[in-house]
Structure 1
Amino acid sequence: RLLGRRHARVVHGPVQLTMAAALTKSEVETYLATVDLRGPLEGALNAAISAQAKAPIEFFGAYFAAGGKAAGPSTALTKKDVETYLGSVDVRGPLEAALNAAVSFQTKEPMEFFTRHFAKLSQPAQSGLSAPAAAPTGPQLVDVSSLTQIAKDYLGLLPQPEKPTYRTALVQIYVRSAPYGGSDKSSNGHRYDMVPFANGMINAGISCQPIHYVHEEHDTFFEVVKNFDALIVRCNPGQIKADGGS
């Protein structure tokens, strides 16, 4: 179980691992058998629940930077308290993205890796890494310039294949009235799992362009996306309505 002893009576699923790009199932299983990733992540989840953290990314950044220690007192919670919290704040999304990133990089130092990972999410402009501000373009890609660019950057996204087998898009919804665009988003406007999904496609020789659906551009959006071979829709239920659409 993902939750530790303190919340043992609350039934929740484990952090889910999406197959890391360019790794076989056997390679992933071998790696997970030698490096404990779930322990630190489960500790972070329990700490966030106890603290009722409203900003998971910042909380996890501070948690791992402190060596796996949460700032402030923990709270004794009932099963209903935990379920209510998990229903209102997405804490699993960022942890699952961190798990997949760690597997992809085959890190041997999980705590150090997670510290850097969440620091980058919290402050992408200060991470010291290249974070292209413009959406990926090129003659091999679909022209999406008529759509509003919501994302602040594309940190971590691999270069698109020069001759893609297929052309795909990963569609996201940014809720403008919500902090960061929704509890499933990083501070750059993308979902936490955008990079693992898109890079998995890219490593398979398939282009994958992250885009956002904006309801005011409905007709334009569907004119653009008909040029893709496939769409990967990654949004939480109700996000279009929450952003003012229908």
Structure 2
Amino acid sequence: MSSDFHFQSLLVIDDDKELTDMLSTYLESMGYKVQVRNDGEAGLEEAVSGHHYDMILLDVMMPKMDGFDVLKKLRASHATPVLMLTARGDDYDRILGLEMGADDYLPKPFNHRELVARIKAIVRRHNMAAAGNGVEQDLLVNGVHLSPSSQTANVDGEPLSLTSTEFSILRLLMLHAAKRVTKEEISLKVLGKPLQAFDRSIDMHVSNLRKKINAVSVDEKIKTIRGIGYMLLTGSN
């Protein structure tokens, strides 16, 4: 196991017992600790039980409570990274999941190696400060203050409740303030994957980030560069 592997506690919430058995065997062979719950209610109960999970793999279609309801209730109190498992080709599920605060999605059926790559990318950015050397300086641009060491952000003193993905996108935009950052760069540096045609993940994450900023500030902070990407405004743009 590589020296940067710090995060190994996973919760899998999926009603397909054959799939969860297979995932457990595979992920445990890769060094992860895996807990499984086979319906939404039991999954949510475990997710908020106080047991620490570095990431949750969450299916959409489940009995008792679907994945969207689980995610909505989870996000009311927890920022645990969530990878949604969606039906292939179901763009509605993917977009809705991202809107509700999922960090990424993976359509079924999926390659196990791709799953592990997604898990590593998400947990790596979620614990960016702990994985680093702890000396990264705070950022302050146009009233936006971001602290990598404490993983917190605020606008004009008003705190922002951000997912790990939103935090990482904001950090990237702040590091390149007043400069355009392409969607391709955001996808590679934040999501850890090349940007795919018709993939709206970046747009949805930035939209969520904007909504949270706009809720506490009347000033525009993030500008869309049509067809290219985004720019964090400095106040003098």
**Global fold match (TM > 0.5):** no
TM-score (norm 1): 0.31
- Tell which structure's C-alpha radius of gyration is larger: 1
TM-score (norm 2): 0.32
Q: Which structure exhibits the higher relative contact order, with contacts defined as CA atoms closer than 8 Å and separated by 6 or more residues? A: 1
Which is richer in strand?
Answer: 2
